[in-house]
Amino acid sequence: MAHNLNFNDNTGKYSFFSVKEKAWHGLGQILEQHPTSEEAIKYAGLDYEVLKKPAFIKGEPLSIGDNGEIIEGEDMIIPDRFGTYRSDTKQAFATVGSDYHIVQNREAFSFFDAIVGGGDGILYENAGALGNGERIFITAKLPDYIRVGNGDDVVEKYIFLTTSHDGSGSITAAFTPIRIVCQNTLNASLRNMSNVVRIRHTSGAKQRLEDAHKVMGLANRMSTEMEGIFNQWAKVKVNDVEVKKLIQLALCPNKETLKHLQNGNDDEISTVFKNTVEDAFAYAMMSDTQMMETTKGTLFGAYNAVTGYFQNVRSYKDNEAKLQSIIMGGTAQLKAQKAFELCTAFSTSGAEIFSLN
């Protein structure tokens, strides 16, 4: 099952909802209006508790009784180990240590609501559970947005959160701006500032709320700085040759290919890479790329062409692989970050960066 969405046999539904638009997997509940926290938990199939109990090793058979019955040995409790499971289906997740703190699904939503003080302004876009329900994810739109150019090119502010109930990772929240005209995910990393906050499962409610405010502060700082940067890029003109060079450097897979690019050894560059660059460049040059007229032929437009390639052109093994690549720290996200760094350098040094990379 490529999408890996949880199917709840008790309800007969997939644990997922999306607002207005169908998701890439076409499953789950489609809502016309943004739900409240309580509604979102229900529509996403996340209205279950996660519990834990002492882990044990089942005793081996000791002997056969007079009537042929098997006499089992006593179960042995494993010290300081607990098994996590969901309350509704009793599905077991994993064995965790004694210091593992369960973060309930409702607490994950409270994380979002705390950001804007009681949920005013938070718009839940989608949420769901993966596997047997051991991992959940939530995407919410924050108030306000970034305007680029003359104001027609809009970047909205989103926070994406995922957490697990099987000890496989921390609560992870990331600020992700999405450009509504073409739905490109812009995972920009601003200088040395991280756009990700991770919260350990051993933390209490107070720390989670504090970290929630940190995320909001990060989002505001990033969006303010990004608005200035993007508007600066919207004024920087780039020609076709420069766009192609930016694409080459952003998509460059390794140091060997980079060296060939620097030395002009075109014959030594793989056909796969050449085709990738050509596909991305063709996307940038398309008349129906959906880019606003105010940012065509600019550095901002070139940056969005790179992210748009991964979103709309590149082929993936399946849709889950696409999601992982674009949002969950995969190749597309890393290349988008590289494109951001290159555009930042180009805006200050111009074409000189091509000889430095």
Which tokens sit at 239? 């020609």
The model's confidence at residue 37, banded by pLDDT at 50, 70 and 90, is: confident
Angle at 320 (CA atoms; ends 316, 325), nearest 5 degrees: 65
How much is the average pLDDT of 119-137? 83
Query: Are 137 and 112 spatial neighbours (Cβ–Cβ below 8 Å)?
Result: no
Other C-beta atoms lying within 10 Å of the C-beta of residue 329? 15
Give the pLDDT score at 217: 65
pTM: predicted TM-score of the whole model, two decimal places:
0.62
96: tokens are: 């965790």
Average pLDDT over every residue of 261-266? 86
Residues 102 and 82 sit within 8 Å (Cβ to Cβ): no
What is residue 290's predicted lDDT score, i.e. its pLDDT?
46
Q: What is the CA radius of gyration of the chain?
A: 24
For residue 304, pLDDT over 90 is answered with: no
Largest CA distance in the chain: 91
User: pLDDT grade, residue 101 (50/70/90)?
Assistant: confident
**pLDDT for the residue numbered 191:** 34
Q: For residue 4, is pLDDT > 90?
A: no
Pair of tokens at residue 38: 């309580």
Instruction: Give the number of other Cβ atoms within 10 Å of residue 58's Cβ.
Output: 9
Position 88 scores a pLDDT of 92
More confident residue, 22 or 204: 204
d(CA 46, CA 126): 12
Dihedral angle, C-alpha 271, 273, 274, 280, nearest 10 °:
140
- Per-residue model confidence as pLDDT tens digits over 25-36: 567 788 999 998
In this structure, are residues 46 and 129 in contact, taking their beta carbons and an 8 Å threshold? yes
Confidence of residue 294 (pLDDT cuts 50, 70, 90): low
The Cα-based distances of 232 to 140, 198, 235, 283, 341 in angstroms read 28, 31, 5, 23, 14
Task: Answer yes or no: is pLDDT of 120 > 60.
Answer: no
* Sequence spans of domains, the chain: 7-47+106-229, 50-97, 234-356
Q: Decide which of 180 and 266 is more confident.
A: 266
pLDDT exceeds cutoff 70 at 119: no
- Report the run of H or E that residue 157 belongs to, with start and end: strand 153-164
Question: What rounded mean pLDDT belongs to the chain?
Answer: 77
Q: What is the pLDDT of residue 192?
A: 30
User: What's the pLDDT score for residue 103?
Assistant: 86
pLDDT of residue 183: 28
**Better-scored residue on pLDDT, 131 or 221:** 131
> How far, in Å, CA of 230 to CA of 26, rounded?
33
Q: Are 213 and 115 in contact (CB under 8 A)?
A: yes
Percent residues over pLDDT 90 in the chain? 11
Tokens read off for 18: 């999306």
Spatial neighbors of 174 by CB under 8 A, at least 6 apart, are 159, 160, 161, 187, 195, 196, 197, 327
Q: What is the pLDDT of residue 174?
A: 73
